[in-house]
Chain A
Amino acid sequence: MYSFGENVSLVDIETTWTFDNYARIFKPEIMTLLWRTVWISLVATVVCLIVGFPVALVIATASPAAKAWLLLLIMLPFWTNLLIRTYSLLNILGTRGRLNELLGWLWLRCNDFLSFIGAGELGLLGEKFVPIKFLGTPSGVVLGIIYVSLPFAILPLYSSLERMDRSYLEASMDLGAGQMQTFFRILVPLAMPGILTAFIITFIPALGQFLIPDLLGRGQVDMVANVIQRQFKGANDWPFGSALSLMLLYVTFILLALRAFGDAAKARRESIR
């Protein structure tokens, strides 16, 4: 309701059925924000799927006892508060954090190796190790989102791989296909429903991420949710905040509807043939 209203005083909002709040969404700075939100979420989701798929495959093919432990391992982060997890990421991703420590070590080893094979003089890896700046950059936000959403991506992938009849894979091997061919021609297509579910279940919450861009983005990598929050608090512009939130909701609905349409179209195509 607020989204169709106007601020008439500091605390009062009158519903005037204006579309101004929606029109403001199409201003360039907001469009940039939306676009950044989408691509950060998209990159994070795709990485989650690529990383999550092999993990899910390992769990699905593990022995029953190992399966239980691996699933527990996947669930374990859920038992820790999101805030604590994100703060711990600050420690890992910082300029002098653990990840940069590791990269620095790798850089040294690689350089050693390069000098060992006689390419040390070329300075292929630069003069000295420059720590990568994760915090306050999109890469940090993407890494943070990957970290929190990975379990959500793994679980639907796991359940679709778990249910899959192993004889499809054996039939493929039996017919002369190698591991890779079986993976891309049989396993991935058959797991497609699970992949779609994993995509939606990762992508939609990623769109609405607030805490991670706030902490890991250091306020320099805003996503929609951060702006919405500011509209409600700092900017005291509830109507525009409402419009933005509803926008996010619409995107979600559209995505879900697209998927439902896709399923229906597929079913229709097959019944016509």
Chain B
Amino acid sequence: MTDNPIVSIRHVSKYFGKFAALEDVSLDIHAGEIFALLGPSGCGKSTLLRILSGFETPSEGELLLDNKDLVPLKPNKRPINMVFQSYAVFPHMTVEDNVAYGLKMEGVSKSEITSRVNEALEQVHLTGLGQRKPNQLSGGQRQRVALARVLVKKPRLLLLDEPLSALDAKLRDAMRLELVKLQESVGITFVIVTHDQSEAMAIADRIAVLNDGKLRQLATPAELYQRPVDAFVADFVGKIHCFDVASASIENELIQVTSSTLPPLSLPPSVMSSALHSLPVASSGGVQQTQQSIGRQPRSQTDAIGRLDSASGKLVLAIRPEHISASLSEPASADVSLLGSIGDIAFQGQHSILEIVIDGKPSLTAIVENAAAQALHNAGFGSPVWAYWTASDMLLLPENASNGSN
């Protein structure tokens, strides 16, 4: 992977009438990586893909491929190819003709077409099916045809629109691995659009999380999971429990947090979301100014107090289920412990998922070892149980980073 981005998207916005499908999105895609655009439906990820492929033009902003402006190029002139969500394998052509189509359009010689088509069919394990018509293929095979059809063009960038959503669960898992292997062997940069966080996490080198047309966070899968920038991202990439924060301030380099449901806590600064460092600060004159990131340690305590206070209404404390432990007796030394009762226990093979009911509502889930789960199971439904965790495993997040900053 080089530092030179293959694609630069700079301040791109797209409006459909008054509706903003994309707002000021900037990101770089590096050569040779699998880049995922992740978000719920209607977040703008497909619009961004269509802008890359050339079927939409950005209302504002720049689009560069290898440092050259891409916007004026028509879709058929871009060295970018796309695997459509519906595959769009031409039904009136054989598999071979489908794969050869793009090369014929380029005016490649017949003998070269034959050898490249065969090579592409081999890459997607469709050798021998070249004479079939698409309606004689399974969904998975049709997708492979769509893949071969774009691979054969050797594009600079390969776009995949929800590549796995139309496949059944088992095929999907197999195809995930195959896509990664394929990408490694051909070395083409992949951009994948998906709404499935587990798919993005499993395949991608880096993920851009989008919501409401805005880029929320761009990070590696691990970073996204462990250090989400806000509660939306944290919740979108995996299960997480959030507690409302009543007030938060920094004293002696520790964050003091109070909340309606949790005891007062002193947390290390490492739990703070990176977005909090750039929240607007109420200066003495009452004028709002945006302070750029000043790293983990606040420059001065008064600044930090002002910063967290100004946002405290929108802050949440969050903890992931795998950090929550459960015990039938009150834990002796735990930063946070909550008393609840045992709800459902779901056996998952190597571990079990325990539901803890607090105030009559199922409110926490904990991942427990099977031995512990057996004990909990024996205690029976409704027995008192303590959920506890270490404070430093928690995350202090703004509810919505991009809204919090304006």
> Which residues of A are at the interface with B, using a C-beta cutoff of 8 A?
165, 167-168, 170-178, 181, 185-186, 189-190, 192, 270, 273
- Say yes or no for B102: interface residue by CB 8 A criterion: yes
Assess the B135–A186 pair: CB atoms within 8 A. no
Residues of B close to A181: CB separation below 8 A: 105
Residues of B close to A172: CB separation below 8 A: 90, 101
Instruction: Give chain A nearest CB distance to B239 CB in angstroms.
Output: 34
- Say yes or no for B3: interface residue by CB 8 A criterion: no
The 5 closest A-B pairs by CB, nearest first: A175-B102, A171-B88, A176-B105, A167-B88, A189-B92
- Say yes or no for B10: interface residue by CB 8 A criterion: no
Interface size class of B (residues with CB under 8 A): 20 to 34
Instruction: Give chain B nearest CB distance to A187 CB in angstroms.
Output: 11
Assess the A170–B153 pair: CB atoms within 8 A. no
Residues of A close to B105: CB separation below 8 A: 175-178, 181
Q: Which of B88-111 contact A (CB under 8 A)?
A: 88, 90-92, 101-102, 105-106
Known contacts A177-B76, A178-B76; is A168 also within 8 Å of B153 by CB?
Answer: no
Known contacts A174-B76, A190-B91, A270-B133; is A167 also within 8 Å of B101 by CB?
Answer: no
In the bound complex, what is the Cα–Cα distance between A216 and B110 (angstroms)?
Answer: 54
- Say yes or no for B75: interface residue by CB 8 A criterion: yes
Instruction: Give chain A nearest CB distance to B128 CB in angstroms.
Output: 13
In the bound complex, what is the Cα–Cα distance between A190 and B90 (angstroms)?
Answer: 9
Residues of B close to A178: CB separation below 8 A: 76, 105
Residues of A close to B53: CB separation below 8 A: 170, 174
In the bound complex, what is the Cα–Cα distance between A170 and B88 (angstroms)?
Answer: 9
**Chain B residue, CB-CB nearest to A177:** B105
Assess the B82–A171 pair: CB atoms within 8 A. yes
Residues of A close to B92: CB separation below 8 A: 189-190, 192
Assess the B133–A176 pair: CB atoms within 8 A. no
In the bound complex, what is the Cα–Cα distance between A181 and B76 (angstroms)?
Answer: 11
Assess the A168–B88 pair: CB atoms within 8 A. yes
In the bound complex, what is the Cα–Cα distance between A177 and B74 (angstroms)?
Answer: 11
Known contacts A165-B88, A177-B101, A190-B92; is A170 also within 8 Å of B135 by CB?
Answer: no
5 contacts between A and B (CB under 8 A): A172-B101, A174-B54, A176-B105, A186-B90, A189-B92
- Say yes or no for B260: interface residue by CB 8 A criterion: no
Most buried by B among A175, A177, A270: A175
- Say yes or no for B81: interface residue by CB 8 A criterion: yes
Instruction: Give chain B nearest CB distance to A263 CB in angstroms.
Output: 14
- Say yes or no for B225: interface residue by CB 8 A criterion: no
- Say yes or no for B55: interface residue by CB 8 A criterion: yes
